[in-house]
Amino acid sequence: MSKISLKIYRLFTLISRFKDLLFCATVAFASSNALANDAVKDGAYLAVAGDCISCHTAPGGKPFAGGLKMANQFGYVLTPNITPDMETGIGAYTKDDFFRVLHNGVNKKGQDLYPFMPYEAYTKVTRADSDKIYDYLRTVPAVSNAVVVNNLDFPFNIRSSMIVWRELFFRAGVYKPDPTQSAVWNRGAYLVEGLGHCSSCHSPRNLMGAIKDSKAYSGSVIDGWYAMNITSNPLTGLGKWSAEDIARYLKTGSYKDKTTVLGPMTEVVHNSTGKMTDMDLLAMGTYLKTIPSNSSLSENRKKVDATHLNGARLYIDNCGGCHQSSGRGITGVIPPLAGNPVVMAEKPNNIIKVMIEGIKQRDGYIAMPSYAASLNNQEILEISNYVRSSWGNGADPNTTKSLVENIRKNPGL
């Protein structure tokens, strides 16, 4: 072989090897991009399951840019900006920083977070899922929105006050599957106890703002609305619901011929559970069905005559035309009051708020007008107690005039 031919051969060999290396690099890059895209896609779904957007988006604000006001007896906080903005968001956060927020409730500055952020639930989120949520949040549009988070009263506005709270009420720990339960049950437990942070709204809290473990999931007042008892209690909870009923309610916001979502739960269905897979929602229903029956209802609750003249008269005059004299409503058009979990809840807040504020059209049901101008506080009290104790509902007729007055004066509570 001549020297020229040998040089040409070597040149072609080098070109061939370069092509092979380029091909391998291209495949590796494409594979890496595919994995990254999968992580972002999974992270977007996990962020939906955690309902991040509802708390980190102010009314009329940009998604995830923070500023939503969250109040309690100690004042209020504004939710932080979690877009990837470097100055006002979490653009400077690493994956380790982000996981520390979820798992330990500590921000990048080393400050303890206030439990408005449900890190007592998010601590159960796995590191893999935390990383995926982080990957997703890095892809949302960065928004410059500086938020002054802490607006609490003294001494709670001092971050170090959280040291005592954490010591008493917080235990970090990733969710560990129960080997005695099915994979479906464990998935449901992970979503309900962790990402879904259901206990944060559906559990009463003590004077220090911590969940009362003995009453977990037994219901609580949120923004003036009553977050339902979601234990397996047959009277006030989910005891008579099937796992499929629960899954359908979380998907559609409606329990056919029984009830529809109200208040903050409407937003949860719209932003979170309504976008989750049927498999995950069934898993959540499966787990919720096993939460022990719990309720703070007195076994010796008061009873009233369901035919009480004034309550019955007011109901017939104002409600009977739509909800019917028997409280059965009209299928698919007007929800029933008989057997409705909202009506039979431990506290009557939801009935009162609906009568005062009305409800917009939703889930196929027609709108209900506000009765704030046509009914006084005493009349709302009597209608509320009437429907709670009629048609076999058997709930405690515990509506008080002071409660009606408070809800009327403070519609945002």
CATH of the domain at 375: 1.10.760.10
155: preceding bond cis by omega (within 30 degrees): yes
33-44 pLDDT, tens per residue? 555 688 899 999
Residue 178 forms part of a structural domain: no
- Mark whether 331 and 248 lie in a shared domain: no
Q: Indicate if 129 and 225 belong to the same structural domain.
A: no
Does residue 317 belong to any structural domain of this protein? yes
Same domain, 81 and 156: yes
DSSP result, 345-401:
SSS-HHHHHHHHH-B--BTTBPPB---TTTS-HHHHHHHHHHHHTSTT--------H
Evaluate the CA torsion angle 205, 208, 209, 214 in order and state its sign: negative
The answer to whether 197 is a known ligand-binding residue is no
For residues 241 and 215, membership in a common domain is answered with yes
Q: Is residue 402 part of a domain?
A: yes
The verdict on residue 324 lying in a domain is yes
Do 270 and 205 belong together in one domain? yes
Domain boundary among the residues 109, 134, 169 is at: 169
Average pLDDT (350-359) is 90
| Same-domain check for residues 116 and 198 | no
Q: What value does the mean pLDDT take over residues 184-210?
A: 91
Indicate whether 188 and 163 sit together in one domain: no
Do 408 and 356 touch, CB atoms closer than 8 A? yes
Q: Of 288, 319, 336, which residue constitutes the final position of a domain? A: 288
Rg of the chain's alpha carbons, rounded to an integer? 27
Q: Are residues 230 and 325 in the same domain?
A: no
What does the pLDDT read at residue 85? 95
Parent domain of 325:
309-409
Confidence band of 27 (pLDDT split at 50, 70, 90):
very low
Q: Is 24 annotated as a binding residue?
A: no
Residue 220 and residue 267 in one domain: yes
For residue 198, say whether it is annotated as part of any ligand binding site.
yes
Please state the rounded mean pLDDT for residues 63-75: 86
Domain membership of residue 22 (yes or no) is no
Contact 355, 364 (CB under 8 A): no
Tens digits of residue pLDDT in 148-163 = 888 887 777 777 777 7
CA 74 vs CA 56, 151, 159, 207: distances in Å: 20, 9, 13, 10
143 lies in the same domain as 58: yes
195 and 142 in a single domain? The answer is: no
At a CB cut-off of 8 Å and minimum separation 6, what does 265 contact?
Answer: 225, 227, 253
The domain total for the chain is: 3
Which of 104, 136, 169 delimits the end of a domain? Answer: 169
Q: Could you tell me if residue 117 is inside a domain?
A: yes
Is residue 334 very low, low, confident or very high in pLDDT (cuts 50, 70, 90)? confident
Tell whether 270 is in a known binding site: no
| Position 20 in a domain | no
56 is in an annotated binding site: yes
Contact (Cβ atoms closer than 8 angstroms) between residue 255 and residue 249: yes
295 occurs within a structural domain = no
